[in-house]
Amino acid sequence: MKRIRLLKENEIDTVLFSVFEIFEYGKEKEKWNICLCNPPGGDWSRIQFKDFTINKIFTWNTLPRVRGKEKLPDFVVQYHSNKDLIFSIESKDNPTNLEINIGERMNNFMKWIFSEVDPSFNSLSDSKNEIFVKENFEFISCVASSFNPEQSQSKVQDLFNKCNCDFIFNFIANEKIVLYEIFTNDREVSKRYFPLMEQRFNQVSLKSNLRSNF
């Protein structure tokens, strides 16, 4: 491998936005929706959820960054399925800066939003149904960082123990190409969600040969 460069936090956020928005295409495009993201694509304080069944956008504005021990994710992406999947992502350039139990804290924040806070809505069709259905979601937590792939096996288990998350994404730069690794440490998570996430990353021009399932 040619000389690698670790990414800064704003670069990690840009990669996430690129993967899920800028370079999305193909028949799966209409199943993905970015709910929240840091700049360059968002403003930190607003979540938008798309109800694909009635073609409406539900919005929560001016959200707090924290609520007790719970924390607003840096990036939230939705995948439409029988149960809509809500992927919450915390990004840090240095994995040592990732917070304890951040995975559960992000999921709890999103559960609070969906179950207890009333959204506004914007109709994308002539449908008169204005009700946000507060069930039928699955919440998956992820952390994204940048570290030397040669240290992956020594880092990822410690990060899973510390962050209590379902996925770890590692992004690095190799000249002008962004490479990635994907890690899970749960057999059920790996079986149900790993192929979907790997497919999403493989569809874009920032793809890499570095893919790992821990």
Domain boundaries, the chain: 4-202
Which residue matches tokens 């360059």?
Answer: 40
Cα gap 114→107, rounded to integer Å: 11
Pair of tokens at residue 79: 């995948």
Cα gap 17→40, rounded to integer Å: 8
Verdict on whether the full-model pTM lies above 0.85: yes
Mean pLDDT by 10 residues, the chain (214 residues): 83 89 62 83 76 87 87 94 94 95 97 89 62 83 93 87 96 86 90 88 56 44
Q: Cβ(60)–Cβ(46) under 8 Å?
A: yes
Which residue matches tokens 């709910």?
Answer: 35
Reduce the DSSP state of residue 44 to 3 states and report it: coil
Cα gap 37→27, rounded to integer Å: 23
Which residues on neighbouring strands pair with residue 161, listed in sequence order?
A: none
CA 175, 208, 17: angle at the middle one, nearest 5? 85
By CB atoms closer than 10 A (0-12, 13-18, 19+), residue 107 is buried
Neighbours of 86 (CB within 10 A): 24
Neighbours of 186 (CB within 10 A): 14
Q: Cβ(210)–Cβ(146) under 8 Å?
A: no
pLDDT of 28 reads: 60
How many residues are given for the chain? Answer: 214
Pair of tokens at residue 52: 């694909």
Which residue matches tokens 């899973």?
Answer: 160
